[in-house]
Amino acid sequence: MKKWCIVGADVLTPEEVLQKTSVVVMGDKIERIGHVEQKLPVVIDAKNSVLSPGLINAHDHLLGTYYPKVGNGPYENWLPWDNDLKSSPVYRERQQIENRDLYLLGAYRNLVSGVTTVSDHIPHFVNDPFLDILPVRVIRDYALVHSIASFALNWGDGIEEEYKKAVKNDIPFITHIAEGFDAETVNDLKVLERHNGLGEHSVLVHGIAFSEEDIDKIKKKNASVVWCGDSNVFMFNKTANIRYMLEKGVNVCIGTDSPMSGGLNLLYEMKFDKAYYQRTYGKELSDEQIVKMVTINPAKAFRMYRHGRIKPGFIADLVIFARKGNAYNSIVQAELKDVKLVVIAGKAMYGDVEYEEIFFAQKSQYQKVVLDGKEKVVIGDLIGLLRRISKAVGFKKEFPFMPVEFKYP
């Protein structure tokens, strides 16, 4: 089945809201928006729902997917947190699990929260073996370094060479930066500039120590910034100067970081960031702005020219959310149970059991699960994954970001 449609939803493009309209999917793309003239094999009724572009998690470490959080901050930079992590009982527990299953767990964590694309910040040789088996899209084409300071992990071929790759291939150049307050880290942007790594291909993650002068330079160079508010506050009791970035028009995206330092999922992160902004600046960060930070902004940052919007010719990454207030608020205030259907490149991957017909029509291998008290349909073998993880660690391991009912042993 190549052609099907969703009808009756309020469609969040996300620049505007189209009331009670329809979206026709053909293959992996959006064919049209508006009235459906012909009878199609599957018609998804989305009345009283909001149809959004698939959410984009702009920063995660899928291999680091586990729980609970580890740390005793605030820290001076990322390195002492990493030392605490790797000496913790939770880390030793995580190490009993195969990398394949940690990647699957991280992918499902994103999928059930309405995420269709993830930026997994790690060298290619680490994630390449697993990308084809994951139920979400993970960005494949990127240049990277771990971070800027002298104590950075040895990822990539250095700032200058990696940025050249990004420009040559029109891909993002991704790095942690200004993640802390020591003498080196606060000067990260100057070092990045000196090595010709600041430009429109740069995706700068964290930026806690960015000064207003730094932010002005970032805007001038049209670089993007990824805000991981919960992770930053947990590790450093502070996050980036987001208000100034937004006032200057910097392309700001939202990421979760791993759940061992950050939020449970992107839905949680949006709520955390909204509350943090209100608490810190005494003014509201609009739901519309937040939705753009998980759709069109990261699509721009990662050079994904046919993603992030509901528009004819764009890739059919779509999410149906239960209506809660207005269309934008329905996304920002959504809980796991409010994610009604997730579609990636035209294929249904996860959703309410009432939409099982689309999974059947697409001849998918799927299973029924009860997640957060609600019956769902999901691609693959999520229950088998949770059982394998439990077997590896020797007890029934449950995750608040994956509240699925399963029996063990």
The half-sphere exposure of 211 on its side-chain side, counting CA atoms within 13 A, is: 8
Torsion sign over Cα 156, 128, 309, 262: negative
| pLDDT, position 282 | 97
Gap between the Cα atoms of 207 and 70, Å rounded: 21
* DSSP per-residue string spanning 327-344: HHHHHHT--GGGEEEEEE
Per-residue pLDDT tens over the stretch 7-63: 999 999 999 999 999 999 999 999 999 988 778 999 999 999 999 999 999 999 999
| pLDDT, position 121 | 98
Residue 138 sits at the vertex; the CA angle it makes with 6 and 43, to the nearest 5 degrees, is 10
Count of positions (residues) in the chain: 409
Gap between the Cα atoms of 87 and 109, Å rounded: 25
What do you get for the CA distance between the two ends of the chain, in Å?
38
Residues 6 or more apart whose CB falls under 8 angstroms from that of 281 comprise 243
| pLDDT, position 39 | 86
Helices (H), 177-295: 188-194, 212-220, 229-236, 242-248, 266-281, 287-292
Gap between the Cα atoms of 147 and 127, Å rounded: 18
Confidence class of residue 197 from pLDDT cuts 50, 70 and 90? very high
Per-residue pLDDT tens over the stretch 239-256: 999 999 999 999 999 999
Per-residue pLDDT tens over the stretch 252-280: 999 999 999 999 999 999 999 999 999 99
| pLDDT, position 299 | 98
| pLDDT, position 25 | 97
What pTM, to 2 d.p., does this model score? 0.98
Using the predicted structure, report yes or no on whether residue 364 has a pLDDT greater than 80.
yes
Domains of the chain: 3-53+308-364 (2.30.40.10), 55-301 (3.20.20.140)
Q: What is the mean pLDDT of the chain?
A: 97
Gap between the Cα atoms of 201 and 190, Å rounded: 17
Confidence class of residue 300 from pLDDT cuts 50, 70 and 90? very high
| pLDDT, position 80 | 98
| pLDDT, position 219 | 98
Gap between the Cα atoms of 322 and 182, Å rounded: 45
The amino acid at residue 133 is: I
Whether the bond into 14 is cis, omega within 30 of 0 = yes
The residues that bridge with 60 in the sheet, in sequence order, are 120
Torsion sign over Cα 234, 238, 243, 249: negative
